[in-house]
Structure 1
Amino acid sequence: MKSISLAAAGLFALACGVPSGARAADLPRRFAPQPVLAAPPAFTWTGFYAGVNAGGAVGGDFRAETTAPRPAALPASRAEVSAGGFVAGGTAGYNYQFTPGRGIVVGVEADAGYADLHNQFRVGAGAAGTASGGLTTDTYFVTARGRVGYAWGPLLAYATGGWGFTEIGVRGSAALPGRVAPASFNARVPVDGYTVGAGLEYMIVPNLSVKGEYLYSDLGRDVRFPAAGTGFGVRTGLDTHQLKLGLNYHFNLFN
C-alpha cells in the first residue's frame, strides 16, 4: 500500500513539474492543405476564324493598251487612269501557332466581297483621233492567300501573299476620222494576278479580334475586240492599294 502511494505521488509531481507548453509541443500539429492553383493555358492563335472587313482603295490604276494583232490604220494607244472606291466583304481562315504564348504563326485566308472601283478616261489615240470610255469593278473581289507572322500573346503581326480575282467592266469608243470607222466596245473582262500585303491583329476579348490590313493587287488579262472588219487586242488590267479594317471571330476548333 505504501509503494502504491509513492508511485502515485511521483506521477503527480512529474505532471506538475512539466510546463504545459512543452506538453502541447509534443502533440502533432494539423494544417489546412494548401490550395492547388493550376496555371492558365498559354494564349494561342491556333484555330479557325471568320469575320467581316471593309475599306477603300487609296491608290492604283486601271490600264488598257492595244496589243497585236490590230488593224494597220489603228495606231498603238494606251490609257491609264487612277482607280478609287471601296471594298467590303467576308473573311475565313485558319491559323497554326507553333509555340503558344509567343512564336511563329502560319495560316491560310480567303476573303470575298463587293468592290466598287471606277474611273472615266479620254485619251489621244494618234494624231487625228481620240478614245474615251470608262473602267469599273462594280462586282466581286476575291483573294486567297497564305499568312506568316509572329505573335506576342494577343498581338499578331503578319505578312500575306497569294492570288486575287475580279472583273473589270470596259466600255468605250475610238474614232479616227478618215482612217478607220468608229469602233465601240463594252464588255466585262475577268482579271487575275497576285496579291501581297501585311497587317496587325489583336485579340480584344476571348475569341474576338480586330485587324488592320494593307493589300496590293496587280491583276490583268488579254482580250480581243472586233474593229475595222478584223479586230484588235487589248491588255486590260488593274492595280490597287487597299487599306482595310476587319473583325474576326475565332472558333478554337482543333487547337
Structure 2
Amino acid sequence: MKRLLLASTVLAVLATAPTAKAADVEYAPESDWTGAYLGAVIGYGSLNWTVEDYDGDLDSPADDEATGMMGGVTIGYNYQLDSVVLGVEADYSIASLSGDIGGCQCGDFDSDWPLQLEMDAFATVRGRLGYAIGDFMIFGAGGLAYASTELSIPDEDGAEYDYESYGWTLGAGLEYKATENMSIKAEYLYANFDEDFNLDDVEDGDDGDSFSLDDMHVVRGGVNISF
C-alpha cells in the first residue's frame, strides 16, 4: 500500500511539473506597429544625369553623378492587421550632393571652370506595406519623389540657376522595434525623375543644349518615435 501511495505521489509530481515550468515562462507579445510617428533619417545619395551638347560648347562632363550626404525628418502612420502593416510616410531631407557637369565655352566663361550641379533638397510621399515578425518588420514602399537642384556658374556675378524635379520612387527596408515607442530602420530608395532642363539661359544662347536628371539611389538609416 505504501509503495502504491509513493508511486501515485511521484506520478502526480511529474504530471504537474511541465505545467509549472510553462507557467514560469513569459512570452513577450508581438510588437504593435499601429499609430502615428515622427522620426529622423540620415544617409548617402547618388544622383545621375545626362548632358545633351548640340554645338560642342560644353566640355565632356567631369562627372555623370552628384554624390553626398543627406539628412532630414519623417512623419507617418501605420495600421496593423495581424502580421500585415499598412502605412503612409512623408519625409524631407536637406541634401549636400554635388558634381561637375562640364566646362562651359560660352560667353566669357573659360572651359577650365566647370558648371557645378548641386542637390540641396530631397523629399518623398510614399505608401508602405510591411510584414511584422516579432519585433521586426520588413517593408516595401512607393510613391512620389521631389528634388531641388542648383546649377552654378563661376563668373564674377556667381550666377545660380534653380531647378525643381518631380518623379516616382520605390524602396524597401527593415525596421526593428527597440522599445514600445521607438524603432530603428535601414532602407534603400530608388527615385526616377527623367526630366530635361534647357541650358540656353545658362549659356546665353539658343542652341538647345540641355541636361536631364535621370535617377537617384539613396541608402539611409533612421529612428522613429511613435505616439
TM-score clears 0.5: yes
Does 2:84 correspond to 1:104? yes
Secondary structure of the structure 1 residue equivalent to 2:178: strand
- How many residue pairs end up in the alignment? 189
User: Which has the higher Rg, Structure 1 or Structure 2?
Assistant: 1
Flag as ranges the 4+ runs of structure 1 deviating above 6 A: none
Aligned mate of 1:236, from 208, 212, 220: 212
Q: Using the alignment, how far apart are the partners of 1:56 and 1:229 within structure 2?
A: 36
Any idea what SS the aligned residue of 2:64 has?
strand
Q: 1:249 to 1:228 in 2, by over 3 A?
A: closer
- TM-score scaled to structure 2, two decimals? 0.71
Give the 5 Å matches for 1:203-222: 203-222=177-196
- Measured on the aligned residues, the alpha-carbon RMSD in Å equals 3.0
- Would the alpha carbon gap of residues 76 and 153 (structure 1) be closer, same or farther in structure 2, given more than 3 Å must change? farther
Question: Match for residue 49 of structure 2?
Answer: 62
* Aligned twin of 1:92: 75
- The corresponding residue for 1:144 is 125
Q: How does 1:116-127 map to 2 (within 5 A)?
A: 116-122=96-102
List aligned pairs for 1:182-221, cutoff 5 A: 186-221=160-195
Which amino acid counterpart does residue 90 of structure 1 have in structure 2? V
Q: Against the structure 1 CA distance between its residues 230 and 76, is the aligned structure 2 distance closer, same or farther, given a 3 Å change threshold?
A: closer
8 Å contact from structure 2 (residues 47, 213) kept in 1: no
Whether the aligned pair in 2 keeps the contact of 1:168 and 1:190 (CA below 8 Å) is yes
How high is the TM-score relative to the length of structure 1?
A: 0.64
Q: CA deviation at 1:233?
A: 5.3
- Helix, strand or coil for the counterpart of 1:232? coil
What's the offset of the Cα at 1:232? 2.3
Runs of 5+ consecutive residues of structure 1 not aligned to the other structure: 1-38, 174-184
Specify whether residues 238 and 172 from structure 1 end up closer, same or farther in structure 2 by C-alpha distance, changes over 3 A only: farther
Q: Is the 8 A contact 1:64 1:237 kept in 2?
A: no
The answer for unaligned runs of 5 or more in structure 2 is 1-26
Q: 1:60 to 1:235 in 2, by over 3 A?
A: closer
